[in-house]
Amino acid sequence: MSTLILDGKAVRDARFTELKARIQALIKPPILAIVQVGDREDTNAYIKAKITFGEKLGVVVKHIKLDEKISQHELVAKVRECNEDENIKGIIIQLPLPIAIDQDAAIEAILPAKDVDGLTAFNVKQWLEGREEAVLPATTRGVKELLEHYKIELFGKHAVIVGRSMLVGKPLAALCLNENAFVTVCHSKTADLVSQTKTADVLIVAAGKPRLIGAGHVQKGTTVIDVGINTVIGEKLEDEIPEKKLVGDVDFEAVKDIVSAITPVPGGVGPMTVLALFENLADLCVKG
């Protein structure tokens, strides 16, 4: 049987009209505030993607770009300003923040009702408990909707997650657990990664390590969800001008003929994450 390619871009495009209608039905165009500290190239690219998609939906995206040397106090004050602006319906603090800033304290400054990334303590408790009304972090919601679209069940399955960050790995593990999967979480201290990934029915990789997962890590029949986005530069010897290229944490070419379903990078989880972010915003608008 041929491998099913889980096409996040196609699913996102198919859902666009419905989401746009939800946004247009609101009394006023909602504002999404994106607070960025510094000027990282990768962060700029993620924000640009959110602005472009948001504008197509009719969301006003307010990009608040702050100096890298901003103090904790000033950042929190900026977030509180957004809390108080009733036209702003969702707030994102673009991560990672410079190391001098206490990331948790900055996130906690966001009102839970505007926490479109689902990362405040209030929302974390909600998604850990598997509450229906929880604001799921966008990547996790995106993965959930992609699996649902392709009717891939988590119930009773062995889900292996590689990565345990608060932004991606942990909420994905909570999702799988709440969907009644049996869950294994691997990380950089996992002694024998292969022995874990080889037993997965559903393998979700969010390590940020280009092509960490190869043919030897997977078994027949597994569904592979590759969350990783890594930029690699000019790999082919014949390339005169090495070009930047996006690759996942999974070696797609090596793995694709073994497993039963797999997400490409780009075009898999990335587009679903952006869609889910604005679905979260639409939900918050209705609740607020």
CB 238 to ligand NDP: min, Å: 27
Instruction: Work out which of 79, 159, 206, 250 binds ligand NDP, going by CB under 6 A.
Output: 206
Measure the CA–CA gap between 36 and 90, rounded to whole angstroms: 14
- For residue 36, the one-letter residue type is Q
- In terms of Cα–Cα distance, which of 138, 75, 65 is closest to 108? 75
* 250 scored as a contact of ligand NDP (CB under 6 A): no
Q: Helices (H) and strands (E) in the chain — how many of each? A: 10, 11
* 186 scored as a contact of ligand NDP (CB under 6 A): yes
- In terms of Cα–Cα distance, which of 227, 197, 234 is closest to 214? 197
Instruction: Work out which of 212, 224, 225, 259 binds ligand NDP, going by CB under 6 A.
Output: 212
Q: Among the options 7, 50, 126, 201, which is catalytic?
A: 50
CB 170 to ligand NDP: min, Å: 9
Structure tokens at 228: 């990783």
* 171 scored as a contact of ligand NDP (CB under 6 A): no
CB 87 to ligand NDP: min, Å: 27
Structure tokens at 232: 């690699």
Structure tokens at 145: 């909707």
Q: Are 157 and 175 in contact (CB under 8 A)?
A: no
DSSP H or E run through 66: strand 60-66
* 164 scored as a contact of ligand NDP (CB under 6 A): yes
Instruction: Work out which of 92, 93, 101, 162 binds ligand NDP, going by CB under 6 A.
Output: 162
Structure tokens at 75: 């950042």
* 217 scored as a contact of ligand NDP (CB under 6 A): no
Taking CB under 6 A as the binding criterion, the range among 48-56, 63-71, 101-109, 202-210 that sits at the site for ligand NDP is 202-210
Q: Which is nearer to ligand NDP, 50 or 157 (CB)?
A: 50
Q: Are 206 and 161 in contact (CB under 8 A)?
A: yes
Taking CB under 6 A as the binding criterion, the range among 50-58, 151-159, 182-190, 196-204 that sits at the site for ligand NDP is 182-190
* Beta bridge pairs of residue 62: 33
Active site residue 50: yes
- For residue 59, the one-letter residue type is V
Q: Which is nearer to ligand NDP, 73 or 189 (CB)?
A: 189
DSSP H or E run through 5: strand 4-5
Measure the CA–CA gap between 80 and 197, rounded to whole angstroms: 43
What is the chain's length? 288
- In terms of Cα–Cα distance, which of 115, 88, 236 is closest to 171? 115
Active site residue 219: no
Active site residue 117: yes
CB 268 to ligand NDP: min, Å: 7
Q: Which is nearer to ligand NDP, 190 or 260 (CB)?
A: 190
Instruction: Work out which of 61, 172, 176, 207 binds ligand NDP, going by CB under 6 A.
Output: 207
* 227 scored as a contact of ligand NDP (CB under 6 A): yes
* 189 scored as a contact of ligand NDP (CB under 6 A): yes
Measure the CA–CA gap between 154 and 192, rounded to whole angstroms: 24
* 244 scored as a contact of ligand NDP (CB under 6 A): no
Positions marked catalytic = 50, 94, 117
Chain residues that interact with ligand NDP, rule: CB under 6 A? 139, 162-165, 167-169, 186-190, 193, 206-209, 212, 227-230, 269-270, 273
